[in-house]
Amino acid sequence: MKVVLINHSDSLGGASVVTYRLLKALQAQGIEARMLVVHKATDDPSVVVAAPHWRARLQFYIEAARIFVANGHDRGDLFKVSLGSDGLPLSRHPLVREADAVLLAWVNQGMLSLKEIGRIAAAKPVIWTMHDMWNLTALCHHAGECDKYAEPSGCRQCPFLHSKASDHDASTRVWRDKQQLYGTAHIKFVAVSSWLGELCRQSRLMDAQKVTVIPNAFPVEEFYSAPPSDGRRIILMGAARLDDPVKGLPLAVDMLNRVTRRDNAEVRFFGTLRDPHALDGLNFKHQYLGPVNDPARLRELYSQAHAVISTSLYETLPGTLIEGQAAGAMPVSFDRGGQADIIRGNTDGRLIPFGDTTAMAAALDEVLATDHDRDALRKTVAQRFSAPSVARKYIELLELQLSQAKS
């Protein structure tokens, strides 16, 4: 079976990392898989740059300009939405033409237009893995408190369009374009968490679609447990950009300041910080490690952690919690997103109602006071998120799509 995966990058951002992992997992199962990207960072010959750099950038700038006009010239929310209006002609790419099936992932910011996706789906069975909310809303990647996608009339008066929001704004037009695509194209949708799958069922755009939930693949066998021999309790928190508003860093600072068990405890943060003063208010022993891009160094950090925390406003399927579990660290997180697929009881983590920093601090106090079974945590995550098990689920779905296309 020949499969081509299409994603914006092979390494930049969470969706890129897990899509590349899926590529390798499918290849390990004997699938002839290749990957088309706009930005390539690995030296993997099975990853192919989809178009010359100038052409990809041109499509990116054209869509960005359309968004800038559509939102009343507001730069702040420029990349919180995508129009699906512009992209590369990948239906004509040799890898797509040769493939038995196409697996789409994160294809926004001028990589693929909705029309081009329709052309691909008219010729090939397509599976589309959703890593955020863009498929179930008109424009936005994360809707926040807005639930217009669940209203009978669908998205309109989009808050991300600011002064240009109206009953006939860009969100209403893109909503109609997606309705047409979903109603005519044979696309099988995959949500990476039960939370995202439930949002799809609530969306008037996708409530008629059958959505399969398959988690992201993680190389759990590469992680190991090596807690400090001196008994230190290390708490780990990380992200690509640590002070991205979505990650809830101020909530983490507030929560950690409420923790009472501090003997032999320290917090380690990794990721970029745009605000050099973001951690100034934290009165808990801590280290800021900066960005950590070396996978071996990242696994070492997880191996030493006693707990891994997340205070995100929402997460589709937070990889830091899974990777922490794979190394034997206990996850402690707000329950707002796909965390419930990772933490299913007190034996494998602590889920806290969103925003309750007092309750989260108490839960972290409890975790710090306990020597949990690190090996049991590692076995649990291996059963649910290992690359081979995830790859087999995709292969079953691909085989179903191919058989339906032939019938």
Three-class DSSP labels, 211-237: EEECCCCECHHHCCCCCCCCCCEEEEE
- Tokens, residue 23: 């590529």
Q: Is the pLDDT of residue 407 over 80?
A: no
Q: Inform me whether the pLDDT recorded for 297 exceeds 90.
A: yes
The CATH number of the structural domain formed by 2-217+386-406 is: 3.40.50.2000
pLDDT at 295: 86
Strands 330-334, 307-310: pairing kind = parallel
Look at residue 344 in the predicted model and tell me its pLDDT.
86
Structure tokens, 290: 């900066």
Q: What is the mean pLDDT of the chain?
A: 93
Distance of CA 192 to the CA centre of its chain: 8
Q: Alpha carbon of 173 to those of 63, 139, 250: distances in Å?
A: 15, 10, 37
What is the Cα gyration radius of the chain? 21
Helix axes 387-406, 14-28, angle to 10 degrees: 80
pLDDT above 90 covers a percentage of the chain that reads 80
Q: Determine what percent of the chain is predicted with pLDDT higher than 70.
A: 100
Q: What is the pLDDT of residue 31?
A: 97
Which residues, 6+ apart, have CB-to-CB distance to 277 below 8 Å? none
Q: What is the fold, at CATH topology level, of the domain defined by 220-385?
A: Rossmann fold (3.40.50)
Go through 359-395 and write b for each residue having 16 or more CB atoms within 10 A of its CB, e for each that does not.
ebbbbbbebbeeebebeebbebbbebbbbebbbebbb
Confidence of residue 328 (pLDDT cuts 50, 70, 90): very high
Mean of the pLDDT values across residues 234-244?
94
pLDDT of residue 114 exceeding 90, the answer is yes
Tell me where in the chain the CATH 3.40.50.2000 domain(s) lie.
2-217+386-406, 220-385
Q: What is the mean pLDDT of residues 262-282?
A: 94
Strand (E) or helix (H) holding 127: strand 126-130
pLDDT of residue 360: 97
In this prediction, residue 75 has a pLDDT band, given cuts at 50, 70 and 90, of confident
| pLDDT number for residue 163 | 75
pLDDT at 263 over 90: no
The one-character DSSP state at 28 is H
313-317: long-range contacts, CB 8 A cutoff, minimum separation 24: 313/144, 313/245, 313/246, 313/247, 313/248, 313/354, 314/142, 314/144, 314/246, 315/339, 316/131, 316/132, 316/192, 316/193, 316/195, 316/196, 317/192, 317/193, 317/196, 317/215, 317/216, 317/341, 317/342
Q: Give the pLDDT confidence score for residue 240 in this predicted structure.
A: 86
Q: Measured at the alpha carbon of residue 248, what is the angle toward residues 245 and 252, in degrees to the nearest 5?
A: 145
What does the buried/exposed string (b/e) look like for 301-319 if buried means 16 or more CB atoms within 10 Å of the residue's CB? bbbbbbbbbbbbbbbbbbb
341-399 per-position pLDDT tens digit = 999 878 889 999 999 999 999 999 999 999 999 999 998 888 888 899 999 999 999 99
Residue type, 46: S
Count of H helices and E strands in the chain? 12, 13
pLDDT tens string 149-194:
999 999 999 999 987 778 888 999 999 999 999 999 989 999 999 9
Write down the pLDDT at residue 164: 77
Q: Yes or no: say if 391 and 217 are a contact pair by the CB < 8 Å rule.
A: yes
Residue 144 has pLDDT above 90, yes or no: no
pLDDT at 401: 87
> What is the DSSP-derived secondary structure letter of residue 150?
G
Query: How far apart are alpha carbons 341 and 324 in whole angstroms?
Result: 14
Residue 87 pLDDT > 90, yes or no? yes
Number of Cα atoms under 13 Å in the Cβ half of residue 191: 24
CA distances from 175 to 62, 138, 178, 204, 226 (A): 20, 5, 5, 10, 50
User: Residue 265's pLDDT is what?
Assistant: 95
pLDDT of amino acid 314: 87
Q: How does 209-246 read in b/e, with b if 16+ C-beta sit within 10 Å?
A: bebbbbbbbbbbeebebebeeeeebbbbbbbeebbbee
Amino acid at 28: A
Main-chain dihedrals φ then ψ at residue 66, nearest 5 degrees = -65, -40
Is residue 247 scored above 80 in pLDDT? yes
CB 85 within 8 A of CB 66: yes
> What pLDDT is attached to residue 13?
79
* pLDDT score at 363: 97
Return the pLDDT at 200.
96
Helix (H, G, I), strand (E, B) or coil at 386: strand
